Structure 1
Amino acid sequence: MTYDLLIKNGRVIDGSGRPAFHGDVAVAGGKIVELGRLTGSARQTIEADGRVVAPGFVDNHCHYDAQVVWDPLCTYSCHHGATTVIIGNCSLALAPVKPEAREKLAGMLSYVEAIPMDVLQAGVPWNWETFPQYMSAIGQRLGVNVGTLVGHSAVRLYAMGEDCSERAATDAELDVMRRLVRESLEAGALGLSITRNMNHFDIVGKRIPAACAPESELFALADVLREVGTGVIQCGGGTNPEMKDRLLSRISEACGRPIMYNTLLEQARQPGRWRTHLAHVEETARQGIRAIPLCNPGSIISRFTMKNCQVFRSMPTWLPILQGPDADKLRAYADPAIRAQLRAEVDAPLGPDSTFSQRWDLMTVEEPKLAKNRALAGKHIAEIAKAQGKHPVDAFLDLAVEEQLDTVFTLGEINMDTEAVAQILGSPYAVVGLSDGGAHVQFHSNVSNPTRLLSTRPRPSASTIAGSCSRGWPRISSSSIPTPSLRSRKTSCTISRPTAGGCASWPRGSITRW
């Protein structure tokens, strides 16, 4: 047969985790149709010359729900080998939506995912109401494959209106939600996203609807997936309820569908907890329960100013100040009475939903604004406070107020222990992901996960995903995507066999250790 594209003499990684092999890859009609030593003619032939030819990576946790409307490539995931992105995570989506609720729904995505509201107002055309209409709208021009989850918060807002964060749903409202989920699945949604993250608020400071839903509602919506016989469930903030009483395992067992949740990680807020969590995950897998955490392969260092900061949003006095105008922030942070409340909340015992570790030695002044403060660059708040004889909150806020909130700080609390990260990545029971593509870009970005994994050769002592580059490629390729048993029947295949899907290629020496 005549192929549209023939890639010759590549080092083929098929995404299954099996070793690489040397061969050719043929594409016709937008699908990979043959692998091996091929002799057919092609409209275009590429000589791979030993380069790796692999399935395009699946960026399995993104928030391009709005961006995909004006950026069909979903930049910058595609720059790191991702040919498929999954959106609608953490219960957040832009459909279904009634016309009068558009601003409220956009406000959830804006504050939780740090996407400026003016960008959403300028870029989202809102030429849809239902989920099928949204899928049709974004499907008009796509540069990458996009999989969509229907978001519980959007569904709850549609069914309950302004009461969506205030109370339990009535039976009639729950019926509407179940109908919306079913309609979405039948239109091609990959599944349902929910959340148990109690620190996710909308732009006016209200907890997002899905976080306010009782557990019974989660089971009722998950049961729609059982009835339809397809789909996966994604849960934001799933670690705490899973560790507390196996909530996600129970949901998966009840509906018979896999559930993937955030996050298996090492963090300063709960030192050593990753070991307990990893043991729990492995025991759950041995029991045949499909409750699988995502894990991020890199350290997460947030860069922020006090004009826009999410570090302290779990604290009741801080939250409304953080969401207010800059002039109000300056007045509040300088007020002695309010300052005392802010100190007290930071010093309170940490809980499971705390968003700051109290590790002021991990918060650094990166860019002072005033010339007189340039000597503070590179110093952490703990040492500055000690030198000034102040409480860390006072040293931190005094500097921020003096510099009109323009001081740039960094905070590295997550995955800073590389040995711990190596052990997490070495587990066969976790799925690499959670780039949050499209979100938090003013603070940090993890869309480079695929190239980060491929460019870092682990130390021999680490129990990690690969002991050498030759074994690492197949393992990385397979661990960055859900295995076939986790995928919905509506998900396009990501294994390089005769099937639909994208592929990526790199020269063997083009990705180097860093």
Structure 2
Amino acid sequence: MGFDVIIRGGRWFDGTGAPSAIRTLGIKDGKVAAVSAADLPAEGARVVDASGKWVMPGFIDIHTHYDVEALAAPGLGESVRHGVTTVVFGSCSLGTVHVEPLDAADLFSRVEAVPREHVLSILGRHRDTWGSAAEYIAALEDRPLGPNVTAFLGHSDLRAAVMGLGRSTDAKAAPTGAELRRMELLLVDALRAGMIGMSEMRNPWDKLDGDRYRSRTLPSTFGTRAERRRLYRILRSSGRVLQSIPNLNLPVSLIPALLASIGRGGTKPLKTSYLTAADVKANPFLMHIMGPLARAVNRLGGDFRWQHLPVPFQVFADGIDLVVFEEFGAGAAALHLKDEVERNALLQDEAYRRRFRREYENRWTPRVWHRDLYDAHIVDCPDASAVGRTFGQVGDERGVHPVDAFLDLVVEHGPKVRWHTTISNHRPQALNHLSSLPEVQMGFSDAGAHLRNMAFYNFPLRLLRRAHHEGFMTIERAVHRLTGELGSWYGLDAGFLREGDRADLVIVDPDHLGPELDQAQEAPVEAFGGLRRMVNRNDATVVATFVAGTRIFGAGEYAPELGRRRTGRFLRAGEPRGTVDPRTLPGPAAIVG
């Protein structure tokens, strides 16, 4: 047999968690055609020397917001350069399957910090090419996708399209019987087209952008009990996944959500993936109940998982523009105002400041952000004396409360005050504990969103580094957690690297799993008008990334094919193993644009 690509002499991990071994892989027509302890004939093949390297299935990122970027820059280079070969979007109830561009901009821009004008522009160019879930998938596959993609149908997308954005975010407006039936039909249509499930939102901290319904919570938060029950019934019967987020203002609401996962009276369990398992600074005891809660539900017949980002959750902010301020009334009031003059007038008002200080100091309200301005470090500011200090330290030097120091700097310099803090996963042993729990899934990178706030594109590499250097789990198990475990649970043909599997893989140099993985940099996003977003750059770690047998990244450079020829495809739930779309293989017919 002739091969297209030979990957010679690397330590091969198949994604199942089985012991690794030194093997040579032969790739033909987009699939792994041979895994051999002996050498393979290389005549006519592209040969990659993987000696001393790890060869493993491409990583799966189960939580991204690439919905808009996948249309404008479908190579999704920031993910593939870190070995990610499959991404999931349609997360957190959001999506672009059914809503029109203006509604999509209102849904996405404030919640996910994706520039509003680019959401409108990009969807304005593409939205008229689909009218159904199947046509949406076809439109994605008409773009030169780099990695494979798949998606949830967002409940906010669904609800807003059926009811209208105004009625769908009005607590007094319940869906009519006809509207409920329409939602059911659209969900069935999406699942038949191959989508992996539905995402919803229960947390009221996520707000709409725009002028029409600004600061209303997302449509999914208004979902009625009957509405959810009817949609869940469809997910249950099809064996598809519900992705959800709890109401963080009312933690007790998690109990019925957990119970909803349990199958009753012969019905299937509702496969449920919930955000998020984390060692939160604001509540260090929370992490200890996540595993037992999920275990209890699963023993009663549920199929429940937490999503978990296996790295410290460090966020950056420009001024007050950060989603954590939506947690409390004073912060949300500031973010409600788009006009800088109006916002500054509010921030200078003493009555407002008293409210801000009171809510900042209230330790009894539900929270994700620790609200400790002594743990918020200024990295850039026109006032050079503030750089390198925390807002608390600046307040001490000026003789004012930390909140006043923060608000003074924001009024004086606006978004030019750049700062960072770590919200969760800051304790190494706690992080290792969470990463080891079978009830949690690796993911929640939020890739494609919060472009100025965080960069977790390389989280799989950072988990591998901890497993390699700390030994808290085997490398085989770490690879399985990032690949095959996720592919199997979500019903995707992804995450494995055995004979007959599609050749989506990454080659990693274990000698470069070092501290450079923790660094974040900035790079322009051409699709978003040159906006500088936070990225990871550790190009010596990833020797090469292949999708369907085509090398799309390596040696610190993207291959010419990336973003010009489609190598990835939309992975439909339940497809047979080793499915390869012939249009993703090299040849003139594969060039798209």
Same structural fold, with TM-score higher than 0.5 when normalized by the shorter chain = yes
Which residue matches 2:546? none
Q: How does 1:67-146 map to 2 (within 5 A)?
A: 67-97=69-99, 101-124=100-123, 125=125, 126-127=127-128, 128-140=130-142, 141-146=144-149
Give the number of aligned pairs.
497
Task: Note closer, same or farther for the CA distance 1:20–1:288 as it changes in structure 2 (3 Å cut).
Answer: farther
- Conserved in 1, the CA contact under 8 Å of 2:276 and 2:306? yes
CA distance in 1, matches of 2:41, 2:239: 38
- Conserved in 1, the CA contact under 8 Å of 2:57 and 2:483? no
Of residues 165, 172, 175 in structure 1, which corresponds to 2:169? 165
Question: Per the alignment, in what secondary structure is the counterpart of residue 84 of structure 1?
Answer: strand
Task: Note closer, same or farther for the CA distance 1:151–1:13 as it changes in structure 2 (3 Å cut).
Answer: same
Establish whether residue 333 from structure 1 lines up as the match of residue 343 from structure 2: no
Of residues 469, 477, 480 in structure 2, which corresponds to 1:478? 480
After superposition, the CA RMSD in angstroms is 2.4
Question: In the TM superposition, what whole-angstrom CA distance separates every residue of 1:65-88 from its partner, at most 9, and x where no partner exists?
Answer: 000012122231111110000111
CA distance in 2, matches of 1:477, 1:219: 36
- Conserved in 2, the CA contact under 8 Å of 1:10 and 1:48? yes
Letter in 1 for 2:60: V
Moved more, 215-224 or 111-120: 215-224
Residue 376 (structure 1) shift: 2.5
Question: Per the alignment, in what secondary structure is the counterpart of residue 509 of structure 1?
Answer: helix
Which residue matches 2:556? none
Letter in 2 for 1:368: C
Moved more, 179-188 or 338-347: 338-347
- Conserved in 2, the CA contact under 8 Å of 1:258 and 1:486? no
Question: Per the alignment, in what secondary structure is the counterpart of residue 91 of structure 1?
Answer: coil
Letter in 2 for 1:235: S
Moved more, 435-444 or 337-346: 337-346
- Conserved in 2, the CA contact under 8 Å of 1:94 and 1:106? no
Which residue matches 2:429? 419
Q: How does 1:187-266 map to 2 (within 5 A)?
A: 187-203=193-209, 204-227=214-237, 229-237=238-246, 244-253=254-263, 255-266=268-279
Which residue matches 2:285? 272
Establish whether residue 179 from structure 1 lines up as the match of residue 185 from structure 2: yes
CA distance in 2, matches of 1:28, 1:46: 14
Establish whether residue 343 from structure 1 lines up as the match of residue 357 from structure 2: yes
- Conserved in 2, the CA contact under 8 Å of 1:106 and 1:120? yes
- Conserved in 2, the CA contact under 8 Å of 1:455 and 1:513? no
Residue 405 (structure 1) shift: 4.4
Letter in 2 for 1:234: Q
Question: Per the alignment, in what secondary structure is the counterpart of residue 499 of structure 1?
Answer: coil
Question: In the TM superposition, what whole-angstrom CA distance separates every residue of 1:332-353 from its partner, at most 9, and x where no partner exists?
Answer: 111223323323332345433x
Residue 176 (structure 1) shift: 0.7
CA distance in 2, matches of 1:46, 1:387: 58
CA distance in 1, matches of 2:409, 2:256: 44
CA distance in 2, matches of 1:290, 1:84: 23
Question: In the TM superposition, what whole-angstrom CA distance separates every residue of 1:257-280 from its partner, at most 9, and x where no partner exists?
Answer: 421111000112212211122222
Q: How does 1:500-511 map to 2 (within 5 A)?
A: 500-511=502-513
Task: Note closer, same or farther for the CA distance 1:501–1:90 as it changes in structure 2 (3 Å cut).
Answer: farther
Which residue matches 1:493? 494
Task: Note closer, same or farther for the CA distance 1:506–1:355 as it changes in structure 2 (3 Å cut).
Answer: closer
Which residue matches 2:522? none
CA distance in 1, matches of 2:234, 2:118: 34
Which residue matches 1:305? 318
Task: Note closer, same or farther for the CA distance 1:61–1:410 as it changes in structure 2 (3 Å cut).
Answer: same
Q: Percent identity?
A: 24
Letter in 2 for 1:295: H
Residue 418 (structure 1) shift: 1.9
Which residue matches 1:360? 373
Residue 488 (structure 1) shift: 4.2
Gaps of 5+ in 2: 517-593
Moved more, 163-172 or 343-352: 343-352
What TM-score do the two structures reach when normalised by structure 2?
0.79
Of residues 45, 48, 52 in structure 1, which corresponds to 2:47? 45
What TM-score do the two structures reach when normalised by structure 1?
0.90
Establish whether residue 10 from structure 1 lines up as the match of residue 10 from structure 2: yes
Task: Note closer, same or farther for the CA distance 1:332–1:492 as it changes in structure 2 (3 Å cut).
Answer: same
Establish whether residue 291 from structure 1 lines up as the match of residue 304 from structure 2: yes
CA distance in 2, matches of 1:432, 1:87: 15
Task: Note closer, same or farther for the CA distance 1:113–1:183 as it changes in structure 2 (3 Å cut).
Answer: same
Letter in 1 for 2:245: G
- Conserved in 1, the CA contact under 8 Å of 2:466 and 2:472? no
Residue 507 (structure 1) shift: 2.8
Question: Per the alignment, in what secondary structure is the counterpart of residue 111 of structure 1?
Answer: helix
Task: Note closer, same or farther for the CA distance 1:165–1:427 as it changes in structure 2 (3 Å cut).
Answer: same
Gaps of 5+ in 1: none
Question: In the TM superposition, what whole-angstrom CA distance separates every residue of 1:285-316 from its partner, at most 9, and x where no partner exists?
Answer: 44442110011111122211226222211223
- Conserved in 2, the CA contact under 8 Å of 1:365 and 1:377? yes
Residue 478 (structure 1) shift: 0.9
Question: Per the alignment, in what secondary structure is the counterpart of residue 17 of structure 1?
Answer: coil
Which residue matches 1:59? 61
CA distance in 2, matches of 1:484, 1:504: 16
Letter in 2 for 1:359: D
Question: Per the alignment, in what secondary structure is the counterpart of residue 312 of structure 1?
Answer: helix
CA distance in 1, matches of 2:34, 2:98: 40
CA distance in 1, matches of 2:97, 2:340: 32
Task: Note closer, same or farther for the CA distance 1:249–1:40 as it changes in structure 2 (3 Å cut).
Answer: farther
Moved more, 57-66 or 341-350: 341-350
